[in-house]
Amino acid sequence: MTEKTFMAGFGGQGIISMGQLWVYCGMKEGLEVSFFPFYGAEKRGGIARASVIVSSKEIASPLVTTPDSAIVMNMDSLPLCEENLKPNGIMLVNSSLVKTSPKRKDVKVVNIPCNEIAESIGDVKFANMVMFGALAKATGALKLDKLEEVLVSFFGEGKSKFVPLNMQAIEEGKKAVAV
């Protein structure tokens, strides 16, 4: 199993955190992982992108150029994701912000209203975690069976009070993917 994911959005949407948590979970599930962010002048509203791979074997290039799955968190990211996604790949779209439908017909599009779901939990900041849950469900790449302990060690002790709401957001994201 190798799942190559390209994540894109704007700075402040939690693209980097989502990618890091994804590979952290993968590592805890015994997989090989790599996370390579687009780095430069990090700022709110700027470009946030990450190449993320989880695999049962040694990972070759950490740069994801033909992703199996793509996450489109905002409108600007759609053209890029659409261009690169593998035929029959999965495109997870944050339909709260992306109002245009992808043109490609050879990919599986999953619309998740991440911002609305996050707001219903209490804060739009959980939108990335909603998408995280959707990615796990749609790809089946990670089991997320030890999510709580993984989240506790990922966030660290000081922030462990946020674990239940993040778990809820991930759960809601999974549910939002139609089986």
Partner 1 sequence: MAQEKRLMKGNEAMGEAAVRAGCQAYFGYPITPQNELTAYMARHMIEKKRTFIQAESETSAINMVFGAASTGSRAMTSSSSPGISLKQEGISFSCGADLPLVIINVQRAGPGLGGIAPAQGDYFQATRGGGHGDYYHLVLAPKSVQEAADLTYEAFDLAEQWRMPVMVLADGMIGQMMEGVSFKEPKDPAKMPRKPWAVGHQKNREANHIASTQLDPEKFNIVIDERFRRYDEIKAKMQRYEEQECADADLVLVAYGTSARVSLGAMQMARELGLKVGMFRPITLWPFPEKRLSELADPKRKFLCVEMSKGQMIQDVRLTLNGRSEVSFFGRSGGLIPTEEDLLAEIRRILNK
Residue ranges in contact with partner 1 by CB under 8 A: 20, 23-24, 27, 32-37, 39-40, 58-63, 65-66
**CB nearer to partner 1: pick between 62 and 122:** 62
Least distance from C-beta 20 to partner 1, angstroms?
6
Distance of alpha carbon 23 from alpha carbon 40, whole angstroms: 21
- Strand segments, DSSP code E, in the chain are 2-10, 32-37, 47-55, 69-72, 90-94, 108-112
C-beta closer to partner 1: residue 35 or 94: 35
Q: How far is the CB of 95 from partner 1 (least distance, A)?
A: 29
CB of 65 to partner 1, least distance (A): 4
- The dihedrals phi and psi of 72, each to the nearest 5 degrees, come to -110, 100
Q: Is 57 exposed, middle or buried (0-12, 13-18, 19+ CB in 10 A)?
A: exposed
Question: Quick one: 112 or 150, whose CB is closer to partner 1?
Answer: 150
- Cβ at position 105, least distance to partner 1 in Å: 22
Q: In this complex, which beta carbon is closest to partner 1, that of residue 87 or of residue 179? A: 87
- Longest CA–CA span in the chain (Å) reads 46
